[in-house]
């Protein structure tokens, strides 16, 4: 679980699914785990690269911008539509 949460987000779902069967692990389980580990080995060289020299307007070097849309309840028409369901 540590690897799935802290290293590579794309394996979070497979690690979660594999964690369900830890107490009843069999040979098929180990084949699937080895597949996840092979994937991690294959993408080990991939890194997130950020270079301030390539920043373009309106962004400013050395500033990080993040966007999120997690508050769907603020949209009144959708909130009313969900109440009807």
85: number of Cβ within 10 Å: 4
pTM equals 0.51
Given a contact cutoff of 8 angstroms between Cβ atoms, the answer to whether 61 and 52 are in contact is yes
Asked if residue 78 has pLDDT above 80, the reply is no
| 17 phi-psi bin (left φ>0, alpha ψ -120 to 50, beta other) | alpha
Given a contact cutoff of 8 angstroms between Cβ atoms, the answer to whether 78 and 72 are in contact is yes
Give the tens place of pLDDT for each residue, 18-66: 888 888 889 999 999 999 999 988 888 887 677 777 778 888 887 887 7
3-state secondary structure of 14: helix
């Amino acid at each position: 679980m540590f690897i799935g949460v802290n290293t590579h987000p794309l394996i979070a779902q497979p690690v979660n699914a594999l964690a369900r069967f830890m107490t009843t692990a069999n040979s098929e389980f180990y084949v699937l785990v080895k597949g996840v580990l092979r994937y991690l080995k294959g993408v080990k060289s991939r890194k997130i690269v950020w270079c301030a020299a390539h920043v373009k307007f309106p962004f400013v070097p050395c500033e990080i911008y993040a966007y999120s849309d997690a508050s769907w309840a603020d949209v009144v028409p959708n909130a009313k539509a969900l109440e009807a369901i």
